[in-house]
Structure 1
């Protein structure tokens, strides 16, 4: 492979990453080498990584994982008894009693699949889930990649398309590029709290059919990065729309454990589908995705996730099982996430306290940050009802837009680059979430220690005011 022209054309067609995190790492390295900056450290809240943002991991999960990695700790009496018992149970699931052994089954460890299906059944009020419908993978992105690759076919007007919300999760556009699928955008309505609109779905579908063959619709519920929580009526309308138009529903439900909006609750697409009668419940193809990159667990770096496939042809499901893979350690973390300590366990009180602390911090931070941003001149922010992000709109002054054109970068990217260089705050640019219009946005993770959030907001306001002062 001597030149870039020898690279797979599909790979060459992947949109270039914004790479703000790379710039953040470079600035952090400069600070470590005593290069003077107007700030002491970089705070990166561009992704949903609460540990990077300063939140501690859950003690119970880390303790059990530590024992699994170093079984000599089974003898350590200072560790809670239920931690050691759970670790032994998990080790018994592994080949050779070791997390370092290969998994002998494709699709995941059977005991973990069973635990996840039991969790889903409890979550959905008794709607049955079956272990054979659970496929474990190395994280959400891998789950999506595996299934999207099965959909990929055709070129030009026969290319498979996926209806995709705008804004969407910031990793999704590049993933669609990588798998050779056409992104068919449907707009979420900011003035309605980023709600899904049925008329917009019909418009997007007809527009997509001009240049590709839409075969699936991607749903993020609760929404990333918007925090919008779909109600039962909305979900029913989306299911009816998908069924009428022969679309597979891809429901990403990672933030289901972090709903904090008043009078809001998470309802899974599977639960609603099961209650719509046999015509839908027994025929509608649905794939739901979940992972350990949640607000409660936050172990995104372990790369553990799963998909539950509903009404998918067994022959197709066989391919999914064959091409999926999951490392042993994240599978064990998944098992712990769906089977937390029970009231009779010695770790129950501390675990519950830590979870409540995360929930309180997230809901209070969401309210505090939204109110703050709405008081900053040139910014506006819809309240988030769930999840880890706020997605405020930033009204950019003309000189920033003109400078971006001159530098051949997108205006929201330039805004984020300058914020990072001048204030040491790394946020995500709205264009990463697929937005191409002139309504510029930024994305920031709000699950941080409250003191860190205050510092982020203060630096952001200071930077934004300086931009506006240049217009005076």
Structure 2
């Protein structure tokens, strides 16, 4: 008997018992009412009295299409006859789920941290054993099962600070580094600091459109104002300061705009900001006294020959003067992306720059209420921040594996953009970085009318048709935000090359059929 059925049966027996034992309580329903037992019709929590921010919250990446995709998978397992044999989940940046091999050094260190006896008995390289030993020395009871400090193991925070110094060429204080359960938790922790009114107005945050739904969902959850600024699709999803000024000016009457989110490399758009563009954003933030959220989780994922990743911290420091000392910044990194793809380990970090000591103390206090990030996720952060160095036993294999993953992703980035641009009615900007393509496509008027009849946005209608007829799961552009009258979708480049080519071939055939059907 399942837990639900057991609880239901037990509740029924309890209610019957109460009714029989209660003198003068009348029939069962009366006895429930008189004796103070709440019926199913009077739940404490209902949709009417639930936190309205939770109802407002939407997260398209794991929305109705993904739920339906899971149902289809179960139908296929039960032998259902469909025009395809498997579901291809191109909706989410989950590299290992799409066949990417783990990095050996990371997994060997994790194995030894999780089972310390392997340090003595396992056939692992010496640098793996040494790293696992050092990590365990920083954990209570030398066990990954113990709580760590709320902000992470100090040894690992120091490694992250050293990584940032090597990357940027500027000092990084380990005390300003905080480990987290993936970048998402850290981002939400900082967003919570803005849950306040300023001059009688609710706080607002500038976010890019298209954007990663974590931001729109978190802003809705916390009751913060979402102030969208459009990226310029015609200019390769560039970020124009004129558009930032427009968005800020329009929001000023209703919100106290206090922060700006920048995703670089972009998700879902795949663009990589130029250094000049980053300078412009920093100047804009300084001019309007805005806190910068620099979402840099794809910093290893740059494929375009003419593109290069520049961290906001590096550019900020190089600009010097009032910019370097005054602009407040939180930058975020994760082990879920890059060449690692360790989504399930939930490891990440943030670095705080120019944040007031008192504010930082309050942030750390709030984080401590969540106890600590997962210890194995922190161990993975150690492996990313301080990978094997030349001369170490694991270095050659680590470098080969990292290079192979990034080379393959680069090939797939070119493949997917080329294919979409060859399809009638499609335009797709180059995938300069990250793990996604965000093509724009045209829909026939009859398809738009059919979507209206189905009470769905046109791009959602298209995506559901694609899923039901081909098994390919994508995310409609409306889940990320897009200009009115335009239609997009996000797809990952993560399926391994053969599967990606198969997916693109199926996609081409579907689109031809769909266009003909609604011509």
TM-score class, shorter: over 0.9
Q: What is the rounded CA distance, in whole Å, between the counterparts of 2:114 and 2:283 in structure 1?
A: 47
Q: Which residue number in structure 1 is paired with residue 317 of structure 2?
A: 274
| Aligned residues of 1:145 and 1:179 also touching (Cα < 8 A) | no
Deviation at 1:436, TM superposition (A): 5.4
Indicate whether 1:154 and 2:193 are aligned: no
- DSSP 3-state at the match of 1:121: helix
Indicate whether 1:22 and 2:67 are aligned: yes
Indicate whether 1:398 and 2:442 are aligned: no
Indicate whether 1:115 and 2:162 are aligned: no
Q: What is the rounded CA distance, in whole Å, between the counterparts of 1:405 and 1:63 in structure 2?
A: 53
Q: What is the rounded CA distance, in whole Å, between the counterparts of 2:461 and 2:107 in structure 1?
A: 39
Deviation at 1:399, TM superposition (A): 2.3
Indicate whether 1:164 and 2:207 are aligned: yes
Deviation at 1:171, TM superposition (A): 2.5
Q: Which residue number in structure 2 is paired with residue 60 of structure 1?
A: 105
The 3 A distance-change label for structure 1 pair 43 and 156 is: farther
Q: What is the rounded CA distance, in whole Å, between the counterparts of 2:484 and 2:441 in structure 1?
A: 12
Deviates more, 1:90-99 or 1:186-195: 90-99
Q: What is the rounded CA distance, in whole Å, between the counterparts of 2:202 and 2:454 in structure 1?
A: 34
Indicate whether 1:88 and 2:120 are aligned: no
- DSSP 3-state at the match of 1:71: coil
Deviation at 1:411, TM superposition (A): 1.4
User: Structure 1, residues 223-249: CA drift from partner, whole Å, max 9, x if none?
Assistant: 111111111111111111111111111
- 1:97-246 matched pairs, under 5 angstroms: 97-103=142-148, 105-124=149-168, 126-154=169-197, 158-246=201-289
| Aligned residues of 1:397 and 1:467 also touching (Cα < 8 A) | no
- DSSP 3-state at the match of 2:227: strand
Q: What is the rounded CA distance, in whole Å, between the counterparts of 1:366 and 1:320 in structure 2?
A: 38
Q: What is the rounded CA distance, in whole Å, between the counterparts of 2:218 and 2:89 in structure 1?
A: 23
Q: What is the rounded CA distance, in whole Å, between the counterparts of 1:60 and 1:16 in structure 2?
A: 34
Indicate whether 1:359 and 2:396 are aligned: no
Q: What is the rounded CA distance, in whole Å, between the counterparts of 1:210 and 1:407 in structure 2?
A: 37
Equivalent in 343, 355, 358 of residue 315 of structure 1: 358
Deviation at 1:155, TM superposition (A): 9.3
Deviation at 1:3, TM superposition (A): 2.1
Q: What is the rounded CA distance, in whole Å, between the counterparts of 2:457 and 2:183 in structure 1?
A: 28
Deviation at 1:356, TM superposition (A): 0.9
Equivalent in 119, 132, 141 of residue 74 of structure 1: 119
Equivalent in 420, 423, 435 of residue 388 of structure 1: 435
The 3 A distance-change label for structure 1 pair 16 and 302 is: closer
- DSSP 3-state at the match of 1:287: strand
Deviation at 1:394, TM superposition (A): 1.6
Deviates more, 1:455-464 or 1:190-199: 455-464
Q: Which residue number in structure 1 is paired with residue 22 of structure 2?
A: none
Indicate whether 1:286 and 2:333 are aligned: no
Indicate whether 1:378 and 2:437 are aligned: no
Q: What is the rounded CA distance, in whole Å, between the counterparts of 1:271 and 1:435 in structure 2?
A: 31
Q: Which residue number in structure 1 is paired with residue 36 of structure 2?
A: none
Deviation at 1:106, TM superposition (A): 2.6
Deviation at 1:275, TM superposition (A): 1.3
Deviation at 1:424, TM superposition (A): 0.7
CA RMSD of aligned residues (A): 1.6
Q: What is the rounded CA distance, in whole Å, between the counterparts of 2:444 and 2:315 in structure 1?
A: 45
Q: What is the rounded CA distance, in whole Å, between the counterparts of 2:354 and 2:122 in structure 1?
A: 48
Q: What is the rounded CA distance, in whole Å, between the counterparts of 1:2 and 1:443 in structure 2?
A: 35
Q: What is the rounded CA distance, in whole Å, between the counterparts of 2:109 and 2:467 in structure 1?
A: 37
Q: Which runs of 5+ in 1 are unaligned?
A: none
User: Structure 1, residues 32-79: CA drift from partner, whole Å, max 9, x if none?
Assistant: 111112111111011111111111111111121112112222233433
Indicate whether 1:247 and 2:290 are aligned: yes
Paired residues in the alignment total 470
- DSSP 3-state at the match of 2:299: helix
- DSSP 3-state at the match of 1:159: strand
- DSSP 3-state at the match of 1:6: coil
| Aligned residues of 1:164 and 1:185 also touching (Cα < 8 A) | yes
Q: If the length of structure 1 is used for normalisation, what is the TM-score?
A: 0.96
Deviation at 1:157, TM superposition (A): 6.8
- DSSP 3-state at the match of 2:491: strand
Equivalent in 332, 340, 346 of residue 393 of structure 2: 346
Indicate whether 1:431 and 2:478 are aligned: yes
Q: If the length of structure 2 is used for normalisation, what is the TM-score?
A: 0.88
Q: Which runs of 5+ in 2 are unaligned?
A: 1-43
User: Structure 1, residues 189-239: CA drift from partner, whole Å, max 9, x if none?
Assistant: 011000000111110100111221110010001111111111111111111
